[in-house]
Structure 1
Amino acid sequence: MSEGDGGIVSVTGGAGGIEAKYTDIETLARIFDDTGDELRSRAWEDKGIVVNGDLVESSILSPLTFATAESAVLAATIGPGGLAFEALDLEVDALAMQANVFILRGADDLRRQAIEALDYLVGRALGFALPGLLLAGAGGVLITLAAHPELGLLAYLHRDEISKLTEQELIDLLQEHPELVQHLINGGGGLVDGLLDNLPPGVREALLAKLGLDPAHPTTNDIAGDLAGLFDDTDAKVTEGGAPGEDPRSLPAPGSIQDLIDNLSLTNDGADGEIDIVKIGEGDNARYIVNLPGTDSFGIGGSEARDSLANLQLVGGQETAYARGIREAMERAGIPPGAPVALVGHSQGGMTAAQLASNPAFTDRFNVQHVITAGAPTAQVPHIPDGIQVLSLENKGDLVPLTDGEDNPDQPNRTTVRFDHPTGSVGGNHGLDSYSRGGQLVDQSDDPSLAETKDQLRKDGFVGSTDPVSTSTYTITRAP
């Protein structure tokens, strides 16, 4: 696959998303219902005019006029086309709108549950079949699977065809059809359960008891949490400044989404474990941007806080040493309670940012207003408080955002942008250079959800500020 640029592929969630439209319909339904109540009340009040004492007495003087007035009042209040009937029409419309939203939300939930169940069953079937594939001797295919386990679903479905493809052709195929990876990973719990199905029941139960694993793992989150529990974690160790001999960074105030990503890239160029806290403005007007790079090491449980253990913990919904270190660094930076904060993270850093934004213990201390993620799986965080705006950038050919196994929730305060910027390699698609291009595409877009997010970032002073800027660097590792 050659380097190219297909622009923005899709924008979901945010002010123009489906859930926002559902909310708008519900709001309109409440207005209709309230208006109907008011019209009905007025209808019965106005109907009382016909029994007004003065009007009734005047009927003796002009019976015909009284009858005409009485008929007009009754027609305008409780007659066909009157206020009472208009009230009923409004309330019926309100009920219909509420029912439609309820049905549509229910259909969305049923679809999601069906996909979850199907992915689990496919994963379990694949897990049960893998030993047979190994015994059959699949040669080069198995070598490729060992290096790239995300190819397993393709191998299971097309064992004959896949053997004819080179490794690069397989990678290219996945970049063109990332949904295959997403569904395979979403069935990760079933995959492990299927592998365990090959064991005799007694051996299986003994192994599960020895490792402390649950007997079933309906979701990838379940198996990730179980596997993370097999390894010891420690407290974070936070030191001020970067690596010895490293020049202090001085990041500029970002003027755009692309600038936010480029600043994050500069932080990422530092030593392992480093994060930057950028202060914009002074005194009560100060705002803080926290730059959070991603995975440094694919080891597990070592001194690196940003390792594979942290990835497992995040997918499993567990707190990491990296997250604890971020909180400590923000405390050391002197971020006062109530000061506006934006968390900007790449890969594992974006996962951590989303998790922190959903943690009441963290948001009670820090006033998180924005989260910007690049190449980060965040669907494992089901809910972000309404007052926090999340913008997630996902490159179509980047497999990492798919490792949560499902699409990000469509919520009014969560906007997900998928763009197409292939580089010819999996690593290049995940790199911050690609996400800089994604940020530029967002800056140029007039999509309503993106326009709302960009406007809010400017209003909150995180983008486009001319206030003075200072940068503090902290290094987070696992304590010995």
Structure 2
Amino acid sequence: MAGDLVIGGGGSIAVATSELFEDARRLGELRALLSECHRQLVVIDRVVGVAQLNDLASPASALAAERAIDDASAALSRAAPVAEGLHLALIASADAYGIGESLAEQLAQDLAGRFGAMLGLFLPAIALELLPEILGIGAGVALGIALLPPEKREALFQTLPQWLRSKSVMLTDPRVVQLVRLMVMSADDFGGGLFKLPPDLVHAIGDEGLGLVGLATSSTVVVGIAGSRGVLAETAVSVTRAGATVPVTRAETYSDRAARVPQGAAQVRIDRYSQPGEPDRFEVYVGGTRDFSLEPGSEPWDMTSNMNAVAGREAGSYRAVAAAMADAGVTPSSPVLFTGYSQGGLIAAELAASGDYDTRGLYTLGAPAAQVEVPSSIPWVALEHTDDIVPAVGGSWASADPVLVRRQLFDDRPVSTEALFPAHQLAGYRETAALVDASHETRVVSALAGFDRFGEGTTRVDSTLYRGVREVASADPDRRSGG
């Protein structure tokens, strides 16, 4: 069902649907209630003995009541352990599922890594064999497009985005998403194969072994090669306020925070919490990618920042958020709670992991942040759609253990073709956030309670939007797209 939440992580091996955890909670409460009822009946039975019953006007009725109390007491004494057994069985099933899922993911990654290494090793020979056919097909397609009348060629290029969106069903398949995650995690193995390193050595130093190389290493290589050709090259950024500071109410739920992620021209929102006798606190909200082109333009929330952030480098969007925080008055000792969507979630995680701020909590939605080493002392709730390909490009959850809430957005409804990645849209994550608010699962409730304590005692909240811009002479200010 599209409403099912699968919850795991947060220091526990248990992984199951929110409904299962809710059933386990209710069974635990039922066991406590049955035990209490049994205790009270035992007390009543001891107070009203045979002597008191004989003194009553209707001893027969009293004796019947006594027998009923005994029967009820016996039934309760049997029911309480049964409820407790069911409660423990549900928790055990969640633990077993979590262990099984973890082992399956490790096995899949191990196999993908070994396959990637072998593919890299033999790819040059395969490519050389197929090169004539590839070049022939490519030349034929290019010639066919070139021979089209100008108006038809222009119409072809105009319909291309629509055609891509029509294929969103395939890109939204959870199996494709998982395949992308495995491919991303085996990129270092593929590179080792290309350099003719022994497969066992590649496996030993990669993610499946010592972890000396991995996704960040592969991304660094890509960024380095692309930068030498004038793309994915970082630049200076500047930040300005995108409007007046306005008073608002404090965020109280997961939905509240998801709703405050900026989507317009501004990419950052900072809410200042004022508390009498206490230093100001700040909630920082970071939006998603705005520009999907490879060559840097005026927009720092672009693919250049995406790739540099995944590579562990200081992305333009990271520096823009840091500058906005400095302007808002955030200091290294200021308590901060980060919320980020998509690229903004990746940046929020890196800011939290930097150690430069007194981070009290982290909340990400659809973020490719699985490889960011956020300290376990920082409460982190991460929302992912299993049919969203964007979090998958961040690899597997191996470097951190957030409370991970997953949901298949298009499980029982048609996949939207209005966007190339419909399961990644912020509207869908806001819908999921509302479902998380309705969940009674211990980990999500505990994390939200911690987020709420962040704002206790607040007497005033002021909100400011910020707009970051790349300082690139050739930047095209109109080259933007949502996301």
TM-score, normalised relative to structure 2: 0.60
1:389 aligns with: 379
Structure 1 residue 325: Cα displacement: 2.1
CA shift in 2, pair 1:196/1:403, >3 Å? same
Structure 1 residue 289: Cα displacement: 0.8
Q: Output the amino acid matched with 1:295.
A: T
Structure 1 residue 237: Cα displacement: 1.2
In 1, are the aligned partners of 2:335 and 2:358 still within 8 Å (CA)? yes
The number of equivalent residue pairs is: 333
Equivalent of 2:363 in 351, 358, 372: 372
In structure 2, distance between residues paired with 1:236 and 1:168: 32
The question of 1:417 aligning with 2:405 is answered: yes
In structure 1, distance between residues paired with 2:392 and 2:235: 28
The question of 1:281 aligning with 2:264 is answered: no
SS at match of 2:260: helix
Equivalent of 1:120 in 88, 93, 116: 116
In 2, are the aligned partners of 1:125 and 1:194 still within 8 Å (CA)? yes
1:89 aligns with: none
Per-residue displacement from partner, 1:408-451 (whole Å, max 9, x unpaired)? Answer: 5563xx11111121242443211110000111111111222212
Unpaired segments ≥5 residues, structure 1: 20-102, 144-165, 198-216
CA shift in 2, pair 1:398/1:338, >3 Å? same
CA shift in 2, pair 1:123/1:257, >3 Å? farther
In 1, are the aligned partners of 2:286 and 2:345 still within 8 Å (CA)? yes
In 2, are the aligned partners of 1:301 and 1:307 still within 8 Å (CA)? yes
2:235 aligns with: 234
1:179 aligns with: 178
Equivalent of 2:454 in 439, 450, 460: 460
Equivalent of 2:250 in 239, 250, 253: 253
In 1, are the aligned partners of 2:168 and 2:416 still within 8 Å (CA)? no
Structure 1 residue 233: Cα displacement: 2.1
CA shift in 2, pair 1:9/1:282, >3 Å? closer
Equivalent of 1:479 in 463, 471, 483: 471
In structure 2, distance between residues paired with 1:472 and 1:298: 26
After superposition, residues 327-346 of structure 1 pair within 5 angstroms as 327-346=322-341
Structure 1 residue 221: Cα displacement: 2.3
After superposition, residues 55-74 of structure 1 pair within 5 angstroms as none
In 2, are the aligned partners of 1:15 and 1:449 still within 8 Å (CA)? no
After superposition, residues 50-449 of structure 1 pair within 5 angstroms as 111=107, 114-115=110-111, 117-118=113-114, 120-121=116-117, 124=120, 128=124, 129=126, 135-136=132-133, 171-176=168-173, 177=175, 178-190=177-189, 219-230=214-225, 231=227, 232-239=233-240, 241-242=241-242, 252-264=249-261, 267-271=262-266, 274-283=267-276, 284=278, 286-299=280-293, 300-360=295-355, 362=356, 366-381=357-372, 383-407=373-397, 409=399, 411=401, 414-422=402-410, 423-425=415-417, 426-449=420-443
SS at match of 1:384: coil
CA shift in 2, pair 1:110/1:439, >3 Å? closer
Q: Structure 1 stretch 334-343 or stretch 168-177: which is displaced more?
A: 168-177
In structure 2, distance between residues paired with 1:291 and 1:455: 19
Per-residue displacement from partner, 1:271-315 (whole Å, max 9, x unpaired)? Answer: 4xx311011234516321111111111233333211111111111
In structure 1, distance between residues paired with 2:115 and 2:370: 16
**RMSD over equivalenced CA pairs, Å:** 3.6
In 1, are the aligned partners of 2:346 and 2:368 still within 8 Å (CA)? yes
CA shift in 2, pair 1:126/1:470, >3 Å? farther
In structure 1, distance between residues paired with 2:122 and 2:286: 36
SS at match of 1:476: strand
In structure 2, distance between residues paired with 1:169 and 1:123: 31
CA shift in 2, pair 1:337/1:181, >3 Å? closer
CA shift in 2, pair 1:126/1:369, >3 Å? farther
Structure 1 residue 248: Cα displacement: 6.5
Structure 1 residue 17: Cα displacement: 3.6
Structure 1 residue 321: Cα displacement: 2.1
CA shift in 2, pair 1:410/1:474, >3 Å? closer
In structure 1, distance between residues paired with 2:464 and 2:439: 32
In 1, are the aligned partners of 2:112 and 2:183 still within 8 Å (CA)? no
Per-residue displacement from partner, 1:183-224 (whole Å, max 9, x unpaired)? Answer: 122233455667788xxxxxxxxxxxxxxxxxxx96332221
Identity of aligned residues (%): 24
CA shift in 2, pair 1:109/1:184, >3 Å? closer
